[in-house]
Amino acid sequence: MSMLTRRSFIRTTAAVGAGLVFAPAIIGRAQAQTTLTVASLLGDDKPETLIWHRIRDLVEQKLPGQFNFNIVGNAALGGEKEVAEGIRLGSVQASLSTVSALSGWVPEVQLLDLPFLFRDAAHVRATVTGETGAELKEKLADQNFVVADFINYGARHLLTKEPVTRPGQLSGKRIRVIQSPLHTKLWSAFGATPVGIPIPETYNALQTGLADAMDLTKSAYAGFRLYEVVPYLTETGHIWASGVVYFAAPFWNGLDDEQKQVFQEAASAGAVHFNELIVADEERSMTLAAEHGGKVLQPADRAAWEEGAHGVWQDFADIVGGRDKIELIRDAG
């Protein structure tokens, strides 16, 4: 070996040796922090994303430096169904979801979607924090959905291109629905033709005529700028849109007991924060919609809306636990 070659070899060996000396420290630091990918359908200023800022900050206070929240907004990871698939596979570690979007895996959650069942947000909260909520959490956990808490997106209302105040006016209309059997049955009962379309694709579907109407909460109505394509909002309040703060089972099962407790407490605090944000955001959203031509209508015959919708109760009674259970929830509180 020449002198030059031997010197190069010595320098290289020394550098590698130094790298090996420091490698454990580098590896140790990398392993100390776990990155979790969090999917949000909306932007940084909406409750759907702000809740994760609150949860992240609460976790950081109790477990400093242990977790990095990679919050991906604006439905960049897909709609609710795509994200739910990611949660089940573990490629997405956390998100929010309406219970409607999870009904394909756990049909029993459709109990919370029954039209005209709940009087108000307090009635919904009492249900999901009681025995019914605990039962649904167990069933969701069986599908790799670890639910830390329930949230309330607000009431769903009818959105249309032309004024609609009576159920008969929906006859023959194509209505975008959540890809859920209950939602399909509900709008079919009013003579509409349900079309299952993921929420990120809804604006274009309405704009191009693939759909004529849909239903959604007031907050999301403005969040997706739907007032531009369906300017009429009829305050039917037919379904209170329950949702969940949930984690992927592979991620959750990898936490130790202390970490699970911290995440649970942070998620529950985040759920309370979310529910408060939604109330405030609904008011701002409707102001924004009005500034862009959105118009609010009142149902002309609420009894007719309720009568048409209640057929769904009978159709789904066996799936959600029986008619007695439905009526017990209706009469509670």
What CATH number did the domain enclosing 75 receive?
3.40.190.170
pLDDT at 296: 97
Q: What angle do CA 103, 325, 329 make, to 5 degrees?
A: 90
The predicted pLDDT at position 112 comes to 97
Nearest-angstrom CA–CA distance, 99 and 137: 11
**Could you tell me if residue 162 is inside a domain?**
yes
Range of the domain at 93: 7-331
Read off the pTM.
0.85
Handedness of CA 33, 74, 210, 316 (dihedral sign): positive
pLDDT digits (tens, 9 = 90+) for 135-157: 999 999 999 999 999 999 999 99
Q: What is the pLDDT of residues 170-226, one digit of tens each?
A: 999 999 998 888 999 999 999 999 999 999 999 999 999 999 999 999 999 999 999
The radius of gyration of the chain's CA atoms, rounded to the nearest angstrom, is 24
Residue 37 domain-assigned (yes or no)? yes
- Of the chain, the end-to-end C-alpha distance in Å amounts to 89
For residue range 277-320, what is the model confidence (pLDDT) as tens digits?
999 999 999 999 999 999 999 999 899 999 989 899 999 999 99
Residue 157 lies in a domain: yes
d(CA 142, CA 108): 13
Answer whether residue 173 is part of any domain.
Answer: yes
In a domain, 20, yes or no: yes
Using pLDDT thresholds of 50, 70 and 90, give the confidence band for residue 4: very low
> Can you say whether the dihedral through the CA atoms of 322, 324, 327, 329 is positive or negative?
negative
Report if residue 2 sits inside a domain: no
| 37-95 pLDDT, tens digit each | 999 999 999 999 999 999 999 999 999 999 999 999 999 999 999 999 999 999 999 99
Quick one: pLDDT at residue 291? 97
The rounded distance, in Å, linking the Cα atoms of 133 and 126 is: 9
Q: For residue 178, tell me if it sits in a domain.
A: yes
- Residue 27 pLDDT > 60, yes or no? no
The pLDDT value recorded for residue 189 is 94
pLDDT of residue 201: 94
Q: What is the pLDDT of residues 242-277, one digit of tens each?
A: 999 999 999 999 999 999 999 999 999 999 999 999
Where does the pLDDT of residue 333 fall: very low under 50, low under 70, confident under 90, or very high at 90 and above? Answer: low
What does the pLDDT read at residue 94? Answer: 98
Please, which pLDDT band fits residue 9 given cuts at 50, 70 and 90? very low
Residue-wise burial string across 288-323, b where 16 or more C-beta atoms lie within 10 A, e elsewhere: ebeeeebeebebeeeeebeebbeebbeebbeebbee
Residue 65: the pLDDT is 97
- Is 1 part of any domain? no
> Structurally, how many domains does the chain consist of?
1
- Mean pLDDT score of the chain: 90
Euclidean distance between CA atoms 325 and 316, whole angstroms: 12
